[in-house]
Amino acid sequence: MPPMDSPLYQRGAGGDLAGAGWFERGDTAWLDLAWFDAVIMRTDPPFDQAYLYATWLLEMAERLGARVFNRPRALRDFNEKLAIARFPQFIAPTLVTCHADLIRAFLAEQGDIIVKPLNAMGGASVFRLRPEDANLGAILETITHYGHETVMAQRYLPEIREGDKRILLIAGEAVPHCLARIPAEGETRGNLAAGGTGVAHPLSPRDREIASTLGPELKAAGLLLVGLDVIGDCLTEVNVTSPTCFQEITQQTGFDVAGMFMDALEQEVGRALRIG
């Protein structure tokens, strides 16, 4: 985003960005990233080689004065699936492996599991497995690429019927409402991209406990915007690349999520400028 005193910005009453006329498209030009007050890294997964290269390039830009949110190093350090292992007190039984025999043993122990890749989004390639599944072998071969791709297996949480809750953290603070993404009929996945329906709810005491525990650590790591996924009482993912649900929460509750984000962004930029 350009500097806040740039003529690109037209402030409305009360200092808010005013409606559809808050910017004008100018001529295209190459600009040093350090010229901008903030660079927002918000690219959808998969977290592939191209994404990794982008974080390295943005980290080089940081060394030259660019202010990047979320910080490139934090994007690399917090894999959206694996990051839950930092907070074992909040997660369901979980296994990370590329070995089909270990997943089979985990399935036999748990009775009903979910398996998913470590680098995707939107419910892509997420499977629910039960011991009697006739396609079990084929699914494990496919998702692990015949033992060459590491995946995550988690105990199936029946509370998914009540929704896969997205809790937004902005600068370590929780938005007061979550969005429960309820699976479509016959679906296991609640993701909106997989046909789920989003219903906003106030945070429960357990939601607040998870958010208040993770918030300070995630903020300290350089993660301004995070989307926690919670099913029932269990943390299932820590989304740091492009967390969604701003619009749905705002439309259903009236809480200005985007305004909270912009306020936090301005505060972080102001702090960085004062320190610099």
Q: Which of 67, 155, 165, 166 is catalytic?
A: 166
DSSP state of 44: P
Q: Which of 80, 237, 248, 268 is catalytic?
A: 237
116 carries an active-site annotation: yes
Listed in sequence order, the residues at least 6 apart from 161 whose beta carbon sits closer than 8 Å to its beta carbon are 182, 183
Half-sphere exposure of 78 (CA within 13 A, CB side): 29
Return the exposure string of 244-269: e unless at least 16 CB atoms fall within 10 Å of the residue's CB, then b.
Answer: bbbebbbeebeeebeebbeebbeebb
181 carries an active-site annotation: yes
First to last CA, the chain: 18
229 carries an active-site annotation: yes
Peptide bond into 119 cis (omega under 30): no
62 carries an active-site annotation: no
Q: Give bridge partners of residue 202 from the DSSP assignment.
A: 177
For 210, the 3-state DSSP assignment is helix
5 carries an active-site annotation: no
76 carries an active-site annotation: no
Q: Which of 116, 155, 165, 219 is catalytic?
A: 116
Do 209 and 250 meet the contact criterion of CB atoms below 8 Å apart? no
* Measured distance CA(110)–CA(130) in Å, rounded: 9
Q: Which of 80, 181, 191, 207 is catalytic?
A: 181
Q: Which of 71, 81, 155, 219 is catalytic?
A: 81
Question: Which amino acid type is present at position 111?
Answer: G
219 carries an active-site annotation: no
* Measured distance CA(148)–CA(242) in Å, rounded: 27
189 carries an active-site annotation: yes
Catalytic residues: 81, 116, 166, 181, 189, 229, 237, 239
